[in-house]
Structure 1
Amino acid sequence: MSPINRLDLDRIFKNLDKNNNGRITIAELQNLLHGIGIQTTSEELEKLVGRSNLDYVDFLFFYEAIADPRDADDEEDLRKAFEVFDFDGDGFISCEELKMVLTKMGLWEKKSGDDCRDMIHVYDKNLDGLLDFDEFKDMMMTMNYNAENKRLNYVN
């Protein structure tokens, strides 16, 4: 599976489905991607998705296709994902940046800063309170492995 669990994906889908018709449009998906720093045209996105709107199952398949770090161009894809989280471009993901991106994705519901620091601490090898690219890569690979084996994605 993927680093984001099904409950979170369900919440993202519901947040995107503004008219509650069980489908999201390319425009709604594009707004989410733009909100987290991924720039794409609606034409590119529709070509990638293969249709003008997605139901929940289509959305899950789309997410799996873009989130699996084992696919070709792993390093480049992970670098792009890292850049989304590294909002200020300083080469590190701080607790504030992590919260900001998770909030934009609809995955952060007024959790305390301690939860965020705990999430980072699990993968922070040098204990500086930040994630560099290698730590982020380890986190993504570990989260993916754990989810595929039906283990908790985040273990403190």
Structure 2
Amino acid sequence: MNKQGDYKRVFNHLDEDGNGMISPKELHRRMGMIWDEEIYIEEVESVVESLHGRNGELGFDDFFNLVESDKEDEKLEDLKKAFRMYEMDGSDCITPRSLNRMLSRLGESTSVDECVGMISKFDLNGDGVLSFDEFRAMMV
């Protein structure tokens, strides 16, 4: 089944009354069954409101966008952590030397000159280093 089909099954499960919309109360009730910690109805209402749900409820598209945006946030955080591992020297960029050090730690035998070549393939502005945005483009 495709991703949207999977989300549709979850959406239908959350839509207790089958009206094609998830109310904050339905979402709150189901979330309470899933998570161990207490979630306040006001928090759920705020999330629904921030998504511009029609009449204070979430349609399938709203729900799909909510789930996908959470996944994108997680991916971005993972990329930031990986970037910080490679940049090492606090320069907010990956230099040939910092790339060489990290690759050495990972057991890769490369020279700084080889790292210059690796960086140049993704160095969009030609400054000889990788910014986070260039690193993200490389990883996508």
TM-score normalised according to structure 2 size: 0.50
Q: Which residue of 2 aligns with 1:63?
A: none
The verdict on how the C-alpha distance between 1:131 and 1:112 changes in structure 2, with shifts beyond 3 A counting, is same
Q: Which residue of 2 aligns with 1:114?
A: 42
Aligned pair 1:79/2:25, yes or no?
no
**Other structure's SS at 2:56 match:** coil
Q: Which has the higher contact order (CA 8 A, sep 6+)?
A: 1
1:139 pairs, out of 47, 66, 73, with: 66
TM-score normalised according to structure 1 size: 0.45
Distance in 1, Cα, partners of 2:18 & 2:11: 10
How far does residue 124 in structure 1 lie from its aligned partner after superposition? Answer: 2.3
The count of residues paired between Structure 1 and Structure 2 equals 78
Aligned pair 1:105/2:34, yes or no?
yes
Does structure 2 conserve the Cα–Cα contact (< 8 Å) formed by 1:99 and 1:108?
no
% identical equivalent positions? 21
Q: Which residue of 2 aligns with 1:129?
A: 56
CA RMSD in angstroms comes to 1.9
Distance in 1, Cα, partners of 2:35 & 2:58: 21
**Other structure's SS at 1:91 match:** coil
How far does residue 125 in structure 1 lie from its aligned partner after superposition? Answer: 4.7
Bigger Rg, structure 1 or 2:
2
Per-residue CA deviation, residues 14-60 of structure 1 (Å, 9 max, x unaligned), is xxxxxxxxxxxxxxxxxxxxxxxxxxxxxxxxxxxxxxxxxxxxxxx
Distance in 2, Cα, partners of 1:104 & 1:112: 13
Structure 2 residues without counterparts, runs of 5 or longer = 79-140
Q: Which residue of 1 aligns with 2:82?
A: none
Per-residue CA deviation, residues 93-125 of structure 1 (Å, 9 max, x unaligned), is 11111111111113451x432111001112125
Does structure 2 conserve the Cα–Cα contact (< 8 Å) formed by 1:99 and 1:116?
yes
The verdict on how the C-alpha distance between 1:139 and 1:77 changes in structure 2, with shifts beyond 3 A counting, is same
Structure 1 residues without counterparts, runs of 5 or longer = 1-71, 152-156
Give 2:47's aligned amino acid.
M
